[in-house]
Amino acid sequence: MHQLGALYQEKSKGQPGPLTNEAIKYLMESRNHWQARRNHREGFSLRRLARIHASLGRYVESLRYFIDAIEVFARCRCRRYVEQTRKDLEEFVIAPIAMRSLSPAARRYKDSRNALI
């Protein structure tokens, strides 16, 4: 189930539509499967769901899925995955929201500074 969700996610290229809907469907099935077994793999499905929602601009839903993933990984003592998920949260939710809050001039300045690095 997870692999099918991942496949549809890749094919959708972050765009809304039937491929994204299929990805969400399979990833939710995968999440439920692993959740019933209290297995850390639930966190991987949650992370993918979070990324999908972030790509669609649904930052609140994305944040919820990232938090759920962190909770699963922490419960299962998967420290490495907790850290990776925190980095994903920063990249896919926090950074885009922060960029939206900047004025256009500040965004251009930030982009020009990043180009120098």
pLDDT for position 101: 76
pLDDT interval class at 14 (50, 70, 90): confident
**Who contacts 97 (Cβ-Cβ below 8 Å, separation ≥6)?**
59
Q: What was the pLDDT predicted at 19?
A: 94
Range of the domain at 52: 2-116
pLDDT at 113 over 60: no
**Number of domains the chain contains:** 1
pLDDT of residue 23: 96
109: Cβ contacts below 8 Å, ≥ 6 apart: none
Q: How far apart are the first and last CA of the chain?
A: 41
**Burial class for 116, CB neighbours closer than 10 Å (0-12, 13-18, 19+):** exposed
**Rounded average pLDDT over 36-65:** 96
8 A C-beta contact, residue 8 and residue 20: yes
Give the whole-angstrom CA distance, residue 18 versus residue 38. 30
- What is the mean pLDDT of the segment spanning 76-90? 97
φ/ψ (deg, to 5) at 40: -60, -20
Helix (H, G, I), strand (E, B) or coil at 48: helix
Which helix (H) or strand (E) segment is 57 a member of?
Answer: none
Q: What is the gyration radius of the CA atoms in the chain, in angstroms?
A: 16
